[in-house]
Amino acid sequence: MISVLPFHLAAQQYAVPLEHVLRVVPMLLPTQLPGAPANIAGVVSIHGQILPVIDLAHVFRLPELKVDLWTPMIWLSTSTRELLIPVSSVEEISQAV
């Protein structure tokens, strides 16, 4: 069993392994990058670190996520980079098989 952070995006539920989650932060308005792929919503600066914001709704062909100041963003760390994904909601940590 592994610990995961479940989240919703549109009406779908997903989860990410907790070992990749650095924290959940409130929505930050990304700076758009001209010529960036459509799945890149832009970049934000957190504590001087520039992080890409990935639009998973676009990647998964879901309805556009309506964002406001209360929209959570999951800060993830992969083997090669750190990134943020805005989501509809975040649930409590759970166990997955």
94-97 CB contacts, 8 Å cutoff, 24+ apart? 94/3, 94/4, 94/6, 94/15, 95/1, 95/2, 95/3, 95/4, 96/1, 96/2, 96/3, 96/4, 96/15, 97/1
Quote the number of domains for the chain.
1
Residue range(s) defining the domain that contains residue 57: 2-96
Residues of the chain with pLDDT below 50 are none
- What CATH number does the domain containing 6 carry? 2.40.50.180
Which residue matches tokens 């001209």? Answer: 34
Whether the pTM exceeds 0.75: the reply is yes
CA dihedral for 32, 35, 36, 37, sign (positive or negative): positive
Q: How far apart are CA 72 and CA 78, in angstroms?
A: 19
